[in-house]
Amino acid sequence: MRKFKSENIKKRTDLIYELGLEDSFEKIMLKSKEEHAIYMCNQVIEFHKKYGKYPSSVPSKSEEHKMGVWLAGMRLAKQGKLSNIFYPILEKMAIDAGYPDMFNNIGEQNAIDKCNQVIEFKKKHGRYPRTTSKDYCERKLGQWLSNMRTAKQGKGRNKQGKGTVFYPILEKMSVDAGCSDMFNNREREAIDKCNQVIEFIKKYGRYPNRRSEDEYERKLRVWLTNMRLAKQGNAHGTFYSILEKMAVDAGYPDMFNNIDKEQEAIDKCNEVIEFIKKYGRYPSTMSTDEYERKLGVWLSNMRRTKQGNTSCVFYHILNQMVKKAKLPNMFNKNWKDDIKNLEELNNEKI
């Protein structure tokens, strides 16, 4: 025994084979591997109980990474894609713990994990993740969700039939979580866009402008215009009744109405306000720039309308908008004097 203890691992192994005890040695080794697998399985189960998800195999120095790598290996071993042994007792342990899908197909399990993340995001933020988000994690979740919506329609595969797979269990998970519309593609996209327009209106107090320099704002306006046309049956797109309810609930019941004269005036007034803030002057009716010239003509017409010199209607909300923007009233009869006020205002800013 003293000699046995003093030898290194290789010599101890050689000695066991010399004594003809290799069968016992191999059984001990196999038993050790199975015990290790049972230990790791218990670790993964405890992790899921604590965090509500399976450990990730994304590279890191954490214990989660080690568990994630082991779990990924066992899933492959179960499918016979690795030389590792998958022990039946692991499946029983997972089922007894309430996780019968623990060692399922990797693609399906990844989809389940992602679905859980989207559900948690929805519960926390009250909306689904966006593909346009500046946050990397949200953007990745949004892209996955978009891919799943496409895959559900059978449009995510190439000519060889390969591509993104939509698993039926995802639909059940979304319904059980109260997110039954999660994978409804067109309608869900319309709901997301509607939420974005509502958030824009709440932030800026106006509808998005089609002439904005901001691409995101322009896209919102294009979508809004298309939905207004779709509601009237004048476009190929579909208008969903839920959009009307969302607009009413948000306090914007006319959001999808045909743009009336008052709304046109409001939009134009906002464009003039933005012009003044940018250039520190009123738009000129004599400008060589077509856009500025049109703004100038509209402003001139509104001034005359306010004085009762046209058959058009002057809306009092325009005065409120200018006041809110903290600018001289551009619709006054003596508006030319206001130019001096504008210049003084600009000099003060400088």
According to DSSP, the residues that pair with 163 across neighbouring strands are 157
Q: Which token pair is 300?
A: 């001139």
Q: Which token pair is 114?
A: 């992602």
What one-character DSSP code corresponds to residue 28? H
What whole-number distance in Å separates Cα of residue 109 and Cα of residue 114? 9
What one-character DSSP code corresponds to residue 3? H
Assess whether pLDDT exceeds 50 at residue 3: no
79-93, 99-113, 210-224: range with lowest mean pLDDT: 99-113
What whole-number distance in Å separates Cα of residue 74 and Cα of residue 46? 17
Assess whether pLDDT exceeds 50 at residue 158: no
- Gyration radius of the chain's alpha carbons: 33
Assess whether pLDDT exceeds 70 at residue 348: no
Question: Mapping DSSP to helix (H, G, I), strand (E, B) and coil, where does residue 281 land?
Answer: coil
Residue scoring higher pLDDT (28 or 331): 331
Whether the full predicted model's pTM is greater than 0.85, yes or no, is no
Most confidently modeled range among 4-8, 313-317, 328-332: 328-332
Query: How many Cα atoms within 13 Å fall on the side-chain side of residue 66?
Result: 8
pLDDT at 7: 46
Confidence of residue 198 (pLDDT cuts 50, 70, 90): very high
Alpha helices in the chain (DSSP H): 2-6, 9-18, 22-51, 63-78, 88-96, 106-125, 136-152, 168-176, 185-204, 215-231, 241-249, 261-279, 290-306, 317-324, 335-349
What whole-number distance in Å separates Cα of residue 156 and Cα of residue 350? 56
Whether residue 106 contacts residue 72, with contact meaning beta carbons closer than 8 Å, is answered with yes
Assess whether pLDDT exceeds 70 at residue 49: yes
User: What is the percent of the chain with per-residue pLDDT over 70, rounded to a whole number?
Assistant: 79
- Over residues 228-250, the pLDDT tens digits come to 888 877 765 678 888 989 999 98
Question: Mapping DSSP to helix (H, G, I), strand (E, B) and coil, where does residue 327 land?
Answer: coil
Confidence of residue 203 (pLDDT cuts 50, 70, 90): confident
Q: By C-alpha distance, which of 145, 83, 69, 76 is closest to 106?
A: 76
Assess whether pLDDT exceeds 80 at residue 13: no
Assess whether pLDDT exceeds 90 at residue 295: yes
Burial 108-117 (b: 16+ CB within 10 A, else e): bbbbbebbeb
Most confidently modeled range among 80-84, 162-166, 173-177: 173-177
Q: Which token pair is 95?
A: 């089922």
Amino acid in position 293: R
pLDDT at 45: 93
pLDDT at 212: 78
pLDDT at 347: 58
Assess whether pLDDT exceeds 70 at residue 17: no
Assess whether pLDDT exceeds 60 at residue 197: yes
Q: Which token pair is 113?
A: 């994990």
Question: Mapping DSSP to helix (H, G, I), strand (E, B) and coil, where does residue 153 land?
Answer: coil
Residue scoring higher pLDDT (38 or 213): 38
- Over residues 57-78, the pLDDT tens digits come to 666 667 888 888 888 888 888 8
pLDDT at 228: 86
What whole-number distance in Å separates Cα of residue 170 and Cα of residue 41? 24
Query: How many Cα atoms within 13 Å fall on the side-chain side of residue 231?
Result: 18
Assess whether pLDDT exceeds 70 at residue 326: yes
Whether residue 302 contacts residue 314, with contact meaning beta carbons closer than 8 Å, is answered with yes
Residue scoring higher pLDDT (41 or 158): 41
Average pLDDT in the 302-330 region? Answer: 82
Residue scoring higher pLDDT (289 or 166): 289
Residues 6+ apart with CB under 8 A from 305: 312, 313, 314
Average pLDDT in the 292-320 region? Answer: 84
Assess whether pLDDT exceeds 50 at residue 1: no
Q: By C-alpha distance, which of 198, 172, 194, 197 is closest to 183?
A: 172
- Over residues 93-134, the pLDDT tens digits come to 999 998 887 887 667 778 888 899 999 998 898 888 887 778
Assess whether pLDDT exceeds 70 at residue 148: yes
